[in-house]
């Protein structure tokens, strides 16, 4: 894959998130969509505490979720 076609930003974590946690990205984004009124770090903490997700993976999902106007 060339530099121009390489996935960047939070989405670059998605393949490893799916592999490590066994769920598609839509699963995690749907869970986040159900949590209204929480700020970025509260959502990251929730993924870490409730689902055992690492900080980098949780942060990438939340950043993507919030950047796409899902809250």
**What was the pLDDT predicted at 2?**
53
How does pLDDT run along the chain (71 residues), one tens digit per residue?
455 678 788 999 999 999 999 999 999 999 999 999 999 999 999 999 999 999 999 999 999 999 987 55
Number of H helices, E strands in the chain: 4, 0
Question: What string of DSSP letters covers 40-55?
Answer: HHHHHHHHHHHH---H
**Which position has the token pair 């990251």?**
44
Residue 16 has what pLDDT? 97
What confidence score (pLDDT) does residue 7 get? Answer: 79
């Amino acid at each position: 894959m060339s530099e121009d076609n390489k996935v960047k930003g939070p989405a670059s974590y998605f393949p490893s998130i799916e592999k490590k946690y066994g769920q598609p990205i839509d699963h995690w984004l749907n869970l986040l969509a159900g949590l209204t009124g929480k700020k970025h770090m509260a959502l990251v903490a929730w993924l870490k505490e409730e689902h055992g997700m690492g900080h980098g993976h949780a942060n990438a999902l939340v950043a993507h979720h919030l950047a796409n106007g899902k809250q």
